[in-house]
Structure 1
Amino acid sequence: MNFKNIFILLFAVIFFSCENNDTIIDSDNLLLGSWVEPIYDGETTTFKRGNSLPNDAYGISFIQNGDFIEHTSGWCGTPPLTFFNIEGTFELENTLISISTKSYPTNYAWRIISLTEQELVVKRELTEQEIDHRNLMDLFNEIQNLAYSVSCSDSSNWLFTAYGAKGCGGPQGYIAYSNQIDTVSFLQKIEIYTEAEKDFNYKYGVVSDCSLPSVPTSVECQNGYPIFKY
């Protein structure tokens, strides 16, 4: 083979190598790789597989060593957008992707709805902390509904009590209630809620300012609602 033929063969190999820019897909773990062009539909997000993360658009990458990269513009939605990488790690257990990063939210999860070689559909999965917080809010809603189940027409029938626990200590605030309701049940719910919030703060390392809420001196009735006086 002469020099001319060798040159032509080398050129052809280089040319076709550049043309063959197919995405590498790990058949043992289809999640690995870059996912781009998200389409949001209610609680689900659909991604297309990409060769790499785009420079000026959102995308995510799952890397074989467990690293995770989110290419995002952050919370800013005002053009011109500046995109940057948020790095973290991920773990895949069955259909649950658990993600940890150094940026808020530091820990979150996606549930895989469907996964093919070219498409990934995920749904945001509530974390244990989010579920615990929702349960805490459900309990507080019960307290509020009971407290305001009676219209305020005579302030002499109204009392108040502290509720909740701040991360730094002390109550979250004060709530008024009528002596015409089941006060024993109401105060029990307050106690349960306060202890539950203390446990929540300790479990998740919740911090707060150390200021104490002002203590009311009395309750007045205005338009059927109890109003604190200080």
Structure 2
Amino acid sequence: MKNILALILTIILVSACEKNSDPSVIAPEKLVGSWINSSWSESNISFEKANGLKYQDYGFAFYSNHLFVERKNSGWCGTPPISYGNYVGTWIKKGSIINITVDYWGGIAEYQWELVSVDQNTLTIHVLKEVYHE
């Protein structure tokens, strides 16, 4: 009987220590910073936290005032050598959804990303929508 009671108590303690990974309860402040080095895994994209954006590579930054800066291809041609530029926009998080409106070389882009997870080193998203307006 003591063994069963000890087992039940252990299970309760372990399950109580489980961290909450629900992206809808993640504070928007956790997104603030620069994110670079994208990598794909199934249908998700992960980014590494950085001190700043790379000069000649894709990345983006969330700012606490809801400013969004995306460093990306600055022209229609994707053939190397590629020129990169910073494009400014805005972002807002509602639940686990991040809505972004940002300029690009041909007009304005609207992104809708689902926040999968974020910690001090990694941001993982799932792209729900990308719309480009001229």
In structure 2, what is the equivalent of residue 78 of structure 1? 79
Number of residue pairs matched by the alignment: 102
Q: Summarize the Cα distance change of 1:126–1:57 in structure 2 as closer, same or farther, 3 Å threshold.
A: closer
* Structure 1 Cα separation of the partners of residues 38 and 93 of structure 2: 20
* Structure 2 Cα separation of the partners of residues 77 and 45 of structure 1: 20
Give the structure, 1 or 2, with the largest relative contact order (CA under 8 Å, sep 6 or more).
2
In structure 2, what is the equivalent of residue 125 of structure 1? 128
TM-score by length of 1: 0.41
TM-score by length of 2: 0.68
* Structure 2 Cα separation of the partners of residues 72 and 102 of structure 1: 10
* Structure 1 Cα separation of the partners of residues 88 and 28 of structure 2: 24
**After superposition, where does 1:133-172 map in structure 2 within 5 Å?**
none
Alignment RMSD, CA only?
2.1
In structure 2, what is the equivalent of residue 106 of structure 1? 109
Rg comparison, structure with higher value: 1
Q: How far 1:80 moved relative to its partner?
A: 1.1
Question: Could you give the per-residue CA deviations for residues 85-137 of structure 1, whole angstroms, max 9, x where no partner exists?
Answer: 1110000112111001233552221101111110000011137xx8xxxxxxx
- Structure whose residues are more often helix by fraction: 1
Q: Which runs of 5+ in 2 are unaligned?
A: 1-26
- Determine helix, strand or coil for the equivalent of 2:114: strand
Q: Summarize the Cα distance change of 1:28–1:62 in structure 2 as closer, same or farther, 3 Å threshold.
A: closer
- Structure whose residues are more often strand by fraction: 2
* Structure 2 Cα separation of the partners of residues 118 and 109 of structure 1: 22
- Determine helix, strand or coil for the equivalent of 1:101: strand
**After superposition, where does 1:42-81 map in structure 2 within 5 Å?**
42-74=42-74, 76-81=77-82
In structure 2, what is the equivalent of residue 160 of structure 1? none
Q: How far 1:76 moved relative to its partner?
A: 3.2
Opposite residue 77 of structure 1, the aligned amino acid is G
Opposite residue 102 of structure 2, the aligned amino acid is T
Q: Which runs of 5+ in 1 are unaligned?
A: 1-26, 131-230
Q: Summarize the Cα distance change of 1:96–1:80 in structure 2 as closer, same or farther, 3 Å threshold.
A: same
